[in-house]
Amino acid sequence: MLNSGVLGLVIGLVLVYFLLSLLCSGISELVEAFLRRRAKFLEGGIVDLLGHHLKAQLYDHPLLETLYPQTGVPTTEDNP
């Protein structure tokens, strides 16, 4: 039915492309972790979608205020 050489070639190519994609994703994640650009891009995307005024309203929401390390994380002094 199928020639085993063709099947082996297809399996080999799929495996090579899969390993190459894993390698590229890993390198990309390392670069992003090293440069710490992800947060800047996310904030820029939020500003592009909502504008500055709605961004401020979004960040002032009580559920999102807990994400701010300056104000939202309780310290040991706050806990009895």
Q: What is the pLDDT of residue 58?
A: 83
In whole angstroms, what is the distance from residue 22 CA to residue 25 CA?
5
Q: What are 7-66's pLDDT values in tens digits? A: 889 999 999 999 999 999 999 999 988 888 887 888 888 889 888 888 888 878 888 777
Q: What is the pLDDT of residue 69?
A: 63
* Helix-strand-coil split of the chain, %, nearest 5: 70, 0, 30
* Distance between start and end Cα atoms, the chain: 74
In whole angstroms, what is the distance from residue 68 CA to residue 73 CA?
7
72 pLDDT above the threshold of 70: no
